[in-house]
Structure 1
Amino acid sequence: MSGRVQTVLGGVSPAVLGRTLPHEHLSMEFTHFYRRPPAALVSKFPARHISLQSVGYLRQYPYSSKYNLTLNDKDTAQAVLNDVNMFRESGGGTIVENSAEGLDRDLSFLKRVSTETGVHVVAGTGYYIADTQHDDTLHSTTEEMYQRMLAELMEGCVGDKSIKAGFIGEVASVWPIREFERRAIVAAGEVVEQLGVGVSFHPHRNPDAPAEIIRVYLEAGGRAERAVMSHLDRTLVEEEKLLTFAELGTYCQLDLFGAEVSYYQLAPHGDMPGDARRLQLLRALRDDGRGERCTVSHDIHTKHRLADFGGHGYSHILHNVLPRMKSRGFTPRDIHLVAVENPARWLTIHKEF
């Protein structure tokens, strides 16, 4: 595989990435999504720590603790470093960090993580949903968004010019798609048309959202084979709908592995499938001939999913999912595609700039 992958420490050959998590967060702030817990459980959510007595409640109501939703404080930093070290010791090679504008991206910490652990880290550029943006960003034109993403990919990121973004993402939207979000999708398509980089989209939970995002993106000049559609394991949970979307030719990403909850706070009328169902969806894609367009990850964005806070950590897929795939009829080739080859192909930049 020719070309390069742009990490926070510089360009590398895609051949050195190894097992890759294409949708994670190492540092971000997610308190916009806070939800009050059930009245009887309010006392179970302490303000400044996570204990053995509280973590069980957090696993079911993760968005009911602002402390849990803050992944960029001092308490989290060491936990992330410990977790990424375990990921490396378990055979992991690369983490793709999807914290875009609106999630309080911390580039210096991404560089620190990569330097101290030896894991390749790829930073993204782009825009999260409108509701998380500052007023000055919210009124950005399509051209301004395009120019900023282009500059962060080619010259260096705002806040640290020594770091270049390696992909666009995650570009996020709600439903119906807001005008700010639509401009961000269009700008992403224009950048992909020019540079051929990869892009990661975050759809709303409405099953019509993924296809509409790709429609807007393609009309702007984007290429389907350079796009990842994230969170399909909580958006298109019916196999028929998932396989219909897959016909568009994007990477289909199942990236909530490790999330096992009986009540999904951000979509109370929907369900959050467990890992067993995610593997069924992955097998359906494989059986439909889409094995070269599948990726898997955890989307860790809260403290409680880190090992130091009682969670499964970034190594969960390596320890618990890939071995299970073998017993579910996936071949070694299938596993290599999902864990190594597909994310490397998506991240590879072939143009010189």
Structure 2
Amino acid sequence: MRNLIQTVAGKIKKEELGLCAAHEHLSIDLSRIKNDPDTILDDEQGMVSELNHFHEAGGRSMIELTNNGMGRDVKRLKRLSEATNVHIVTCTGFYKDPFIPEFAQGWDQNQFAAHFIREITQGIEGTDIFPGVIGEVGTSVDEIKPVEKALILGAGKAALETGLPVSTHTSLGTLGSKQVDMFFGLGLPKEQIIIGHQDLNANKEEVLDVLQSGVYIGFDTIGKNNYRPDEDRLAFLMDFIERGLQKQILLSADLTRKSHWRKHGGPGYDLVLNKFIPAMKERGVSDDVITDLLVHNPANAFSIKEQ
């Protein structure tokens, strides 16, 4: 199993992953909670077109973190992968309160773990499609609700049992270190932990605390300047690179809305490759570091670990 990555089309060697967007959504529906049609991505031909733009920019793989409760559709993801030659990794998991499906609302950590392990070992919803990551599992802003605590611990237990990585959601980048502590408390190795959305946290010491634990972090909301300007993301990233932490950082844009797509006037899935990477190069970041961020780090983070 070691050094293999589970995609919707089967397992691949980690060297085959190529240039990877580490936290994205292609097919999603958050409207049950958000009551906003902009948060529904259901245009399959549009997805093909958007993925083709990503492929033209050099993108070869995408980690798709839409789980049950967010509108996951793994059969669609498999069709998209076949149509575009982009490797797509799907997930098992639940998001955070209030997006957790009704049937799982009262679960304890062991029930969450058992559900995730079942999908990892038997396939998702009666298909022969298997998840390659547990995610995105999350916590609220500056608060871990009881159901979220059970969810995070259940995800960690499933990761321990199966060797899959866990990719998290931190609301506005908060509580990353608390998530790390919960996983470490279970004995989960740092190589299997990806703490998401750390580029949304303007408190550098909090982000450094997560990085210094040795886990991976997501700088994965690039382009969402309404939350935090990309200039500020860049400044933090440059500092972390100077500190030699570039092998722990994953890049992505976390597109979740129609208005994010090029088709609707948005930046598209290629925005990291076409806008953010050139800005890094202008600041003198070497090709080797950029290859770590886009190729080597995701290959290492998403490869299945031996049990």
TM-score, normalized by length of structure 2? Answer: 0.94
Match of 2:222 among 257, 267, 281: 257
Aligned to 1:219: 185
Question: Aligned partners of 1:239, 1:146: CA distance in 2, in Å?
Answer: 32
Question: Aligned partners of 2:137, 2:37: CA distance in 1, in Å?
Answer: 25
**Residues 239, 284 of structure 1: 8 Å contact kept:** no
Provide, for residues 223-275 of structure 1, a one-character-per-residue CA deviation record: whole Å limited to 9, x for no partner: 222111111111x21323322221111112111112222xxxxxxxxxx2222
Output the amino acid matched with 1:238: N
Aligned to 2:40: 70
1:317 equivalenced with 2:282 (yes/no): no
For the structure 1 residues 188 and 221, does the alpha-carbon distance in structure 2 shift closer, same or farther, using more than 3 Å as the test? Answer: farther
Output the amino acid matched with 2:67: A
1:192 equivalenced with 2:159 (yes/no): yes
Q: CA deviation at 1:297?
A: 0.2
Question: Aligned partners of 2:172, 2:273: CA distance in 1, in Å?
Answer: 27
Q: Secondary structure of the residue that 2:37 maps to in structure 1?
A: coil
Q: Secondary structure of the residue that 1:319 maps to in structure 2?
A: helix
Provide, for residues 148-179 of structure 1, a one-character-per-residue CA deviation record: whole Å limited to 9, x for no partner: 11122222112x42100001100112142111
Match of 1:137 among 91, 104, 115: 104
The 5-angstrom pairing of residues 57-206 of structure 1 reads: 66-72=36-42, 76-158=43-125, 160-174=126-140, 175-205=142-172
Aligned to 1:244: 209
> Which ranges of structure 2 fall in alignment gaps of 5 or more residues?
none
Q: CA deviation at 1:2?
A: 5.6
Aligned to 2:18: 18
Question: Aligned partners of 1:162, 1:345: CA distance in 2, in Å?
Answer: 25
For the structure 1 residues 285 and 206, does the alpha-carbon distance in structure 2 shift closer, same or farther, using more than 3 Å as the test? Answer: closer
Q: Secondary structure of the residue that 2:94 maps to in structure 1?
A: coil
Provide, for residues 271-297 of structure 1, a one-character-per-residue CA deviation record: whole Å limited to 9, x for no partner: x22222211111111112211101110
Question: Aligned partners of 2:63, 2:105: CA distance in 1, in Å?
Answer: 25
Match of 1:230 among 171, 185, 196: 196
For the structure 1 residues 219 and 350, does the alpha-carbon distance in structure 2 shift closer, same or farther, using more than 3 Å as the test? Answer: closer
Aligned to 1:6: 6
Q: Secondary structure of the residue that 1:92 maps to in structure 2?
A: coil
For the structure 1 residues 237 and 116, does the alpha-carbon distance in structure 2 shift closer, same or farther, using more than 3 Å as the test? Answer: same
Q: CA deviation at 1:182?
A: 0.8
**Residues 173, 196 of structure 2: 8 Å contact kept:** no
Provide, for residues 191-238 of structure 1, a one-character-per-residue CA deviation record: whole Å limited to 9, x for no partner: 22222221101012373x11111111221232222111111111x213
**Residues 19, 295 of structure 2: 8 Å contact kept:** yes
1:298 equivalenced with 2:253 (yes/no): yes
Question: Aligned partners of 2:230, 2:138: CA distance in 1, in Å?
Answer: 24
Q: Structure 1 stretches (4+) deviating beyond 3 angstroms? A: none
1:333 equivalenced with 2:288 (yes/no): yes
Provide, for residues 293-340 of structure 1, a one-character-per-residue CA deviation record: whole Å limited to 9, x for no partner: 011100000110100011111111111111221111211111000010
Q: Which moved more, 1:78-87 or 1:302-311?
A: 78-87
Q: Secondary structure of the residue that 2:49 maps to in structure 1?
A: helix
Q: CA deviation at 1:33?
A: 5.4
Which has the higher Rg, Structure 1 or Structure 2?
1
> Which ranges of structure 1 fall in alignment gaps of 5 or more residues?
35-64, 262-271
Question: Aligned partners of 1:295, 1:253: CA distance in 2, in Å?
Answer: 5
Question: Aligned partners of 1:342, 1:7: CA distance in 2, in Å?
Answer: 17
Aligned to 1:284: 239
TM-score, normalized by length of structure 1? Answer: 0.83
Q: CA deviation at 1:10?
A: 0.2
Provide, for residues 41-75 of structure 1, a one-character-per-residue CA deviation record: whole Å limited to 9, x for no partner: xxxxxxxxxxxxxxxxxxxxxxxx71211123xxx
